[in-house]
Amino acid sequence: MTQIATARWPGIAHAPRTPLKAHAAKAILKPTVNRVPVRLTFADGNTWGAGSPDSPEMRIVRPRAFFARLGSETKIGFGEAYMAGDWTAGEGTDLAELLTPFAERMATIVPVPLQKFRVFVDKKLPHHQRNSVNGSRKNIEAHYDLSNDLFAEFLDPTMSYSAASFEGPEQELEAAQLRKIDAILDDARVTAGTRVLEIGSGWGALAIRAAQRGAKVTTITISTEQAALAEQRFAEAGVDVDLQLVDYREVTGQYDAIVSIEMIEAVGEEYWGTYFSTIDKLLAPGGRVAIQAITMGHHRYLATRNSYGWIQKYIFPGGLIPSLDAIDQTLDEHTSLTVTNRRSLGQDYARTLRHWRDAFNANWAAINDQGFDETFRRMWEFYLAYCEAGFVTGYLDVFQITMSRPAEG
């Protein structure tokens, strides 16, 4: 067993001592998993699940710790148990393929009579993760400022950290990322001379592509690490881009095109109205907006919007995935904008995530040399596989959404 650094991972190094909750978790999980086509295998030879010998295997390494975590933190403990090594995918089982049957049954995996107890296990987003101006900076720093070198080990050369758009089964990830960017720029009608505002710079790929079209590009970010590398990449590409280290709420001016790729997930429901009304205020007459947004079904959004889960605790502090209905409602209530087109890239995201996970695992030695430990590796492996399963099953989707003012087309 790999030693877990207690100071760095206090909630992972030691399993909670909650025997009653652990017993309850075990009693609930067994009949639940017996309806899922997987195999849960234990060291004593016991097997749970409705799977055949060829089905994905979930190997329970330390049952006592596994059930204690699951019982103590229902929505967080499953992922924490994987981080701790309390369970793992069996030999020959891919982690995303193991998680897929659970993702397919996400809405029904908890028996209906027990769903009324959700109120007792759901925790609200901690106050320190609210996406105020200062809170947003801290939340973004927690993920995007980990290390540019880390992201470079698993992203493609464009350094795009969002869903690609694949033209066919043979297309490489880099080409698919450029195809995604070009589609957003086309939707926003970005050409020579267009005044473009990009909300969320990433590492600069879209800004470079827009500037190469001859557009006048302003891009904003609150990640100092991303800004530093983006500036370097602008210089290497020989493009003139105005990069500003500011929050979207602090932007002024008028723009013919406003683009934003997978930014809304970090805005927070409390600030969706502010986000879209700011876009509306900054958009020049006749302008167009094109965003890329991860979404979930409206019924799932309503069921999870006030809860705090593993992804928010360990990966994206303050994050919340909207539904298309929630976006439409926010636009109606806070802006003069209306949606004119939507394009789904859900299955493309599953494929993108598989590329990232394969590269992350293949380059783990180099990542490890940067100071990231085994617990971090398992955390990111779980995160990437968990998201892949969500997109494969349609539990999650991602859309390129175009908006304009109705009278202007």
pLDDT at 2 over 70: no
Tokens 């967080």 appear where?
A: 76
Query: What single letter denotes the amino acid at residue 246?
Result: V
Q: Quick one: what percent of the chain has pLDDT higher than 70?
A: 89
pLDDT tens sequence across 291-304: 999 999 999 999 88
Mean pLDDT of the chain: 91
Per the structure block, which two tokens stand in for 220? 């904003």
Spatial strand order in the sheet of 338-344: 241-244, 216-220, 195-199, 255-261, 283-296, 396-404, 338-344
Per the structure block, which two tokens stand in for 377? 């590796």
SS3 state of residue 30: helix
Rounded CA gap, 168 and 117, in Å? 45
pLDDT tens sequence across 144-160: 567 899 999 999 999 99
Mean pLDDT confidence for 327-344: 98
Mean pLDDT confidence for 64-89: 95
Per the structure block, which two tokens stand in for 63? 């049952």
Rounded CA gap, 70 and 81, in Å? 8
pLDDT at 16 over 90: yes
CA pseudo-torsion sign 316, 3, 365, 56: negative
Cβ within 8 Å of residue 338, ≥6 positions away:
331, 403, 404, 405, 406
Which ranges of 49-132 would DSSP assign to H, the alpha helix? 63-72, 77-84, 95-104, 112-115, 118-121
CATH, domain 128-408, list 3.30.1330.60, 3.40.50.2000, 3.40.50.150, 3.40.50.10860: 3.40.50.150
Res 339: pLDDT: 98
CA pseudo-torsion sign 76, 77, 82, 88: negative
CB 227 within 8 A of CB 202: no
Rounded CA gap, 125 and 311, in Å? 12
Mean pLDDT confidence for 333-360: 98
pLDDT at 119 over 70: no
Per the structure block, which two tokens stand in for 205? 């790929």
CB 203 within 8 A of CB 218: no
2 DSSP 8-state letter: P
According to DSSP, the residues that pair with 58 across neighbouring strands are 40, 89
Which ranges of 191-285 would DSSP assign to H, the alpha helix? 205-212, 224-237, 272-282
**Global pTM exceeds 0.85:** yes
For the chain, the domains span 10-121, 128-408
Kind plus residue range of the DSSP H or E element containing 397: strand 396-404
Among 29-33, 93-97, 280-284, 326-330, which is the least confidently predicted range?
29-33
Query: What single letter denotes the amino acid at residue 196?
Result: V
Instruction: Give the pLDDT band (50/70/90) at residue 308.
Output: confident
Res 105: pLDDT: 82
Instruction: Give the pLDDT band (50/70/90) at residue 136.
Output: low
Rounded CA gap, 143 and 311, in Å? 11
Rounded CA gap, 349 and 219, in Å? 24
Rounded CA gap, 185 and 203, in Å? 17
Query: What single letter denotes the amino acid at residue 59?
Result: R
Rounded CA gap, 11 and 164, in Å? 34
Res 145: pLDDT: 62
pLDDT at 118 over 60: no
According to DSSP, the residues that pair with 400 across neighbouring strands are 292, 343
pLDDT tens sequence across 183-235: 999 999 999 999 999 999 999 999 999 999 999 999 999 999 999 999 999 99
Q: What is the dihedral of CA 8, 11, 17, 18, to 10 degrees?
A: 180
pLDDT at 138 over 70: no
Mean pLDDT confidence for 250-257: 97
Spatial strand order in the sheet of 39-42: 47-48, 39-42, 57-60, 87-89
Res 107: pLDDT: 63
Q: Are strands 241-244 and 216-220 parallel, antiparallel or unpaired?
A: parallel
CB 402 within 8 A of CB 289: yes
253 DSSP 8-state letter: S
Res 142: pLDDT: 54
Q: If you compute the radius of gyration of the chain from its CA atoms, what whole number of angstroms results?
A: 22
Query: What single letter denotes the amino acid at residue 348?
Result: D
